[in-house]
Amino acid sequence: MTLPIRNVAIIAHVDHGKTTLVDSLLRQSGIFREGEEVPTCVMDSNDLERERGITILSKNTAVRYKETLINIVDTPGHADFGGEVERVLGMVDGCLLIVDANEGPMPQTRFVLKKALEKGLRPIVIVNKIDRPQADPHGAIDKVIDLFLELGADDDQCDFPYLFASGLAGFAKETLDGEGTDMKAMFEAILRHVPPPVGDATKPLQLQVTTLDYSEYVGRIIIGRIHNGTIRSGQQAALVTETGEIVKGKITKLMGFEGLKRVELAESTAGNLVAVAGFANANIGETITCPNEPQALPLIKVDEPTLQMTFSVNDSPFAGQEGQFVTSRQLRDRLMRELETNVALRVEESDSPDKFLVSGRGELHLGILIETMRREGYEFQVSQPQVIYREVNGQPCEPYELLVLDVPEEAVGGCIERLGQRKGEMQDMQMGGNGRTQLEFVIPARGLIGFRGEFMRQTRGDGIMNHSFLDYRSLSGDVETRRNGVIISFEEGVSTFYAMKNAEDRGVFFITPSTKVYKGMIIGESNRPQDIDLNICKTKQLTNHRSATGDELVQLQSPIDMSLERALEYIGSDELVEVTPKSVRLRKLTKKLAKR
């Protein structure tokens, strides 16, 4: 007998508590044995996800409740990973929309909700973090209703069910006054409001590829939903590719989901989510079908990239010293491999064999790829992110973003002024009762490049900034971005305390004493609009009148820590970020830098 099935996705703005809620659902479903050590954020299996506290890749899990198999898909909340959200929504029949009780709907809430409504899903709204101080659950519900109406939801979608919850405390309840002790109300809401999957087990097989994985034992693993038919381990099948070509093959392994594990299945029928091995060249959106009656499902459409960078072989004087993979062939192979699973990414070859144009959905999307590659041992350099222009109705257009800032009251004026210089238009301003103000802007995407560092200075690190892609609009003219000039090393060597102390009045440094530098390397930010060349390796001349320990009590001001994201936002059009497994350096783009 086949178990009844519910397929549900969990969608939300980044940091509104999706993964923590899934933790509570998993714990209370009984999939962990008694005494088993369970980490927090069990669905964030990737190292980068755990470090940053964000979901990057969508993941599947399944729990049983009242003899019903509930397949749960945890999706990313950041718009830069919208490619993940778009394709997995085709696997499910309902969704849980998580909203922070304090913040209410945020830019990415709009983004993921719009995608869900376009698919015809009827969301169940979960107002999370109701146990936090300053939470306003009913206010959050009102804002969600406004957002539904703004996005053109139909009457049925606007009449959404909602629950109040705390993922951290592990409870959900139907009313604020009710007693919340467990997640039973959420399980019941899923059974009641998420329709069973539609599909006919007697029709020819149709399974759409929505996620790709890889195993050293069985090769490429396809994850997707069976739309029609029955699939069996060992059966003959056919893959209908993007171009319409039919490739015959065999299902070598069939797996289902149970908790955090994949379990081998003999067969599975329409409506279920499964993992399949046997088709080494399958790609996202393609269909596995019956070889006798091959019928393809519509291909998955993913929004186009809005930002582009140049990845190139490192040609600095320090090239090849820290990386394991440094050649153009290795760089190209790695980027092409990324295309197999990262549907929102585009890679084009340029007129130079050492350079590749890589397009993505935003700085974070590309930054995660760069960070992943450097951890794998790759050494390369990247250019400043550039927006991708497009023609709409014969007019040149550029991408615009919806930007929401949550800032202390004293920083409001400075933020409005800076965004005005970057062609931002204020849409809304909400004064909070806690000394904070929420500002909403529509701004060209290129106006946001390099803004985050400036924003953190304006708000003294106390501001929250969120943005998501809005649409393409007419060009907005010149945008004023950076800023001051940079301090450049004009010789190769090792930076000294003496030289840096003498140059402190020129600006602020990105490096510390005893750092290896080369000619053309950017070592700091000037306090003037012009770039400054500096001899950072100059040593103090010692005589019998001067002691080498005479400056022991003198201290340097703290340098700016240039993380990868900060470096990508900071560089100008004539500058590069050199990325190696051990270092992130900034340098000037010159025709030929002096070699060792």
Give the residue with greater pLDDT, 22 vs 46.
Answer: 22
Tell whether residue 130 is among the known ligand binding residues: yes
In a domain, 334, yes or no: no
- Beta bridge partners of residue 13, listed in sequence order: none
Are residues 498 and 450 both part of a single domain? no
The predicted model gives 10-26 an average pLDDT of: 74
- 37, pLDDT greater than 80: no
Q: Residue 390: pLDDT band by 50, 70, 90 thresholds?
A: confident
Long-range contact set of residues 29-33: C-beta below 8 Å, sequence gap at least 24: 29/63, 29/64, 29/65, 29/187, 29/259, 31/63, 31/258, 31/259, 31/260, 32/259
Are residues 39 and 175 both part of a single domain? yes
In a domain, 417, yes or no: yes
- 568, pLDDT greater than 90: no
Q: Residue 32: pLDDT band by 50, 70, 90 thresholds?
A: very low
- 58, pLDDT greater than 60: no
Are residues 166 and 231 both part of a single domain? no
Q: Residue 14: pLDDT band by 50, 70, 90 thresholds?
A: low
Q: Residue 156: pLDDT band by 50, 70, 90 thresholds?
A: confident
Are residues 188 and 138 both part of a single domain? yes
240, 262, 289 — which closes off a domain?
289
Type of residue numbered 94 = G
Tell whether residue 20 is among the known ligand binding residues: yes
* Dihedral sign from CA coordinates of 514, 515, 516, 521: negative
* pLDDT digit string, tens, across residues 187-215: 888 888 888 888 888 888 889 888 777 77
CATH of the domain at 161: 3.40.50.300
Are residues 468 and 550 both part of a single domain? no
pLDDT value, residue 331: 93
Are residues 83 and 153 both part of a single domain? yes
Helices marked H in 94-195 — which ranges? 107-118, 137-150, 155-158, 184-193
Are residues 136 and 217 both part of a single domain? no
Residue 447: C-alpha distances to residues 293, 358, 386, 404, 442 (Å): 52, 20, 11, 14, 10
In a domain, 99, yes or no: yes
Are residues 493 and 528 both part of a single domain? yes
CATH of the domain at 253: 2.40.30.10
In a domain, 303, yes or no: no
Are residues 531 and 571 both part of a single domain? yes
pLDDT value, residue 332: 92
Checking DSSP bridges between strand 219-228 and strand 206-215, what pairing results, if any? Answer: antiparallel
In a domain, 43, yes or no: yes
In a domain, 435, yes or no: yes
Tally of domains in the chain: 4
Tell whether residue 193 is among the known ligand binding residues: no
pLDDT value, residue 378: 94
pLDDT value, residue 327: 92
Tell whether residue 18 is among the known ligand binding residues: yes
* pLDDT digit string, tens, across residues 307-336: 899 999 999 999 889 989 999 999 999 998
CATH of the domain at 452: 3.30.70.240
Tell whether residue 16 is among the known ligand binding residues: yes
Q: Residue 577: pLDDT band by 50, 70, 90 thresholds?
A: very high
Tell whether residue 561 is among the known ligand binding residues: no
pLDDT value, residue 433: 65
Rounded to the nearest integer, the mean pLDDT of the chain is 81
Tell whether residue 327 is among the known ligand binding residues: no
* pLDDT digit string, tens, across residues 91-126: 888 888 888 888 788 766 777 788 788 888 888 898
Are residues 222 and 178 both part of a single domain? no
Give the residue with greater pLDDT, 19 vs 529.
Answer: 529
The predicted model gives 437-444 an average pLDDT of: 89
CA 576 to CA 589: how far, in whole Å? 6
Q: Residue 83: pLDDT band by 50, 70, 90 thresholds?
A: low
pTM: 0.70
Are residues 15 and 53 both part of a single domain? yes
Instruction: Look up tokens 């070859």; give the residue.
Output: 349
Are residues 224 and 274 both part of a single domain? yes
- Beta bridge partners of residue 404, listed in sequence order: 440, 466
Highest mean pLDDT: which range of 171-185, 247-261, 377-391:
377-391
pLDDT value, residue 406: 82
In a domain, 100, yes or no: yes
CATH of the domain at 560: 2.40.50.250
Look up the domain containing 250 and give its range.
206-289
- 550, pLDDT greater than 60: no
In a domain, 362, yes or no: no
Tell whether residue 128 is among the known ligand binding residues: yes
Write the CB contacts of 138 (distance below 8 Å, at least 6 apart in sequence).
Answer: 176
Choose among 107, 83, 112, 80: nearest CA to 96.
112
Type of residue numbered 410 = E
* pLDDT digit string, tens, across residues 122-145: 888 988 888 877 788 888 888 888
